[in-house]
Structure 1
Amino acid sequence: MDITKEIQKLKEEKNAIVVAHNYQNKDIQEIADFVGDSFYLSKICAQRQEKMIIFCGVYFMAETTKILSPHKKILLPEINAGCSLANMITADDVDRLKEEYPDYSIVCYINSPASVKAKSDVICTSSNAIKIVRNIPNNKIIFLPDRNLGLFVKRNVPEKDIVLWDGFCFTHSKIKKDDALKAKSDHPDALLLVHPECREEVIELADFVGSTKQIIDFVISSPAKEFIIGTEIGILHSLKNLNPEKRFYILSQRMICPEMKKTILTSVREALLHEKYEINVDENVLEGAQRALIKMLKIG
């Protein structure tokens, strides 16, 4: 049997859905029931009736889904699919920050471990980070773990004292000003759209800065016909499907996340067939992380 048909058959037998992040391989996106950014997918999974979720992404995303759907079975097809950014901070680091800055509120980017979320005051996404920081009552903020996103927030909310954790995404941070200038020179009629995890020197050259969903929405509504895309290359699949009449150029061919590309069709089939690998979150951690996520929904 064709592997995609086998996956479909297994989904029906197991009462399962497959969700895939925008950065996944094209063939994974095509067999998924839903494609999007991590928090969107976690919310969709919480709303669905299916009790088994195959999350094609990286570890922290599956954890977030478990936090929002604690009574469902969340499976990560590639258990070693991690995130360089999320791995740059621990719960112990947060404890030390609280001791050093006792009067500061901690705003934690969703790209982080569940144990870090649980010790934070509120979570944010790349879409709502500015709004969260602006709306939180405290004027003293610790923003973690992404320094580049934190700098972007700091520039847009200058009235607040923001302390940054020095973490970064390898895929976005490797792109420099010269890469952006070359892309703009090669495609002078194209708009440059970048993710806020990029370096500040790249963001300053952009025509638009936003999350994966915000980039997709911008392209759909824009009258422009050509775009340079400054985020992980996997997003091109959705952009091209939704905008067949427009042209897209990746900012750099190096914008590939090796962790996102670990998931392949056989991984998904094995996850469904053998129900592996199940993601669980300690109950105390889960409760703390839920609290921080609920606060994000209230103020963001």
Structure 2
Amino acid sequence: MTAAPPSAAYLYERVRRVIPPIEWPAFSDDIDAILALKRERNAVILAHNYQTPEIFHCVADIVGDSLALARRAMEVDADVIVLAGVHFMAETAKLLNPQKTVLIPDLGAGCSLADSITAEDIRLLRQRYPGVPIVTYVNTSAEVKAESDICCTSGNAKAVVESLGVARVIMLPDEYLAQNIAAQTDVEIIAWQGHCEVHERFTPADIRQLREDHPGVSVLAHPECPPEVVAEADFSGSTAAMSDYVGREKPARVVLMTECSMSDNVAVAHPEVDFIRPCDLCPHMKRITLANIRAALEQNRHLVTIDPQVADRARRAVERMLAI
């Protein structure tokens, strides 16, 4: 007989440092229901690092950054995948699991980067720069991936760019990520002008103020931040790299220049570290809640579908990335 899943009451021990006891009753019924529904439907939940702790630590089966979720999505042994993240992540899961049911709890969970470029834009870029390979950030629609040569994430962008063995590439849509990678490589990078609405708001003045207010703080910046912010930081890397840095270096005090929930999720594993939280929320990530995850499993909503012809081409771009 399959063991019963842990109850919400037991799971609270994981998150009691970041969720006050008075808030927990608002979550517990949904958590118990989701745990039962996952068993009934042979479902798994993939959650991005920017999800809130009650999702990330209490109902998710697989967690991580975009690259980790893409990799692990290929290994999922389940009938149903619920993507607790934004729409392009759900599309990536569907690309890699075309025969599985993939659900996103809220169709409005989009992305400013994904919205900044279209497939037609890429076709025009190819006309302007014939023969120049196009490296596309995974924060894009399937239609955009289908027009690209290879995908990348913030964690593997430099390796992907250099793997092509060419002097010049087009990298899109995140202008700041492209500029930050260009500073690390001899490959000439032509950038698009898309920005993440969370990371673009951080400034060097923010970092200087944080250092003044919290002497000795270690500043970690996501590479979607402007280059001048990355230059002021002590370390820059993907959400996975930032989490690894905290675990490896054990700074006494740290600030993560990225989406707000990331700090809560990393803090659970490192109670000895003092996390300073500049709370910039992603409005799209925060559209995912326990209530709509539960509804997704109960009502089989919202199905993620991709045109098969688009999917075949987009899948190749993702698989080329994963092969590196």
Instruction: Normalising by structure 1, report the TM-score.
Output: 0.96
- Deviation track 1:43-74 (CA, whole Å, cap 9, x = no partner) reads 22321210101111010000000011111100
Q: Please list the CA deviations of residues 7-33 of structure 1 after superposition, one character each: whole Å capped at 9, or x if unmatched.
A: 111111111111211111222212211
- Counterpart of 1:245 in structure 2 is 272
- Paired residues of 2:137 and 2:172 also in contact (CA < 8 A): yes
Verify: 1:95 aligned to 2:120, yes or no. no
- Contact kept? 1:103, 1:140, Cα under 8 Å: no
2:71 equivalent in structure 1: 43
Q: Do the aligned residues in 1 keep the contact of 2:250 with 2:273 (CA within 8 Å)?
A: no
- 2:309 maps to 284
* Distance in 2 (alpha carbons) for counterparts of 1:276 and 1:133: 37
Q: Which runs of 5+ in 1 are unaligned?
A: none
1:176 alignment partner in structure 2: 203
1:76 equivalenced with 2:104 (yes/no): yes
Q: Which amino acid aligns with 1:229?
A: L
Are 1:26 and 2:53 counterparts? yes
Residue number in structure 2 paired with 1:267: 292
Q: Note the residue ranges of structure 2 that are not aligned, 5 or more in a row.
A: 1-27
Q: How well do the aligned residues superpose, as a CA RMSD in angstroms?
A: 1.2
Cα deviation, 1:201-247, whole Å, max 9, x if unaligned, reads 11010110000000000110004211111110111122111111111
1:126 Cα deviation from its structure 2 partner:
0.4
CA contact (8 A) 2:66 2:153 kept: no
Three-state SS of the structure 1 residue aligned to 2:198 is helix
Q: For residues 191 and 211 of structure 1, do their structure 2 counterparts lie closer, same or farther at Cα, with a shift above 3 Å needed?
A: same
1:35 is paired with a residue of what secondary structure? Answer: strand
* Deviates most, 36-45 or 163-172: 36-45
AA partner of residue 208 (structure 1): F
Instruction: Report the 3-state secondary structure (helix = DSSP H, G, I; strand = E; otherwise coil) of the residue aligned with 1:141.
Output: strand
Identity among equivalent pairs (%): 38
Residue 218 of structure 2 aligns with an amino acid whose one-letter code is: L
Q: TM-score, normalised by structure 2?
A: 0.89
Contact 1:59–1:81 under 8 Å retained in 2: yes
| Contact persistence 2:71–2:322 (CA under 8 A) | no
CA distance in 1, matches of 2:84, 2:94: 14
Deviation at 1:127, TM superposition (A): 0.5
Structure 2 CA distance, aligned partners of 1:274 and 1:59?
A: 18
SS of 2:154 mapped into structure 1: coil
Q: Is the 2:52–2:265 Cα contact (8 Å) retained in structure 1?
A: no
SS at 1:84 equivalent: coil
| Secondary structure at 1:2 match in 2 | helix
Partner of 2:154: 126
AA at the equivalent of 1:86: A
Q: How many residues align structurally?
A: 296
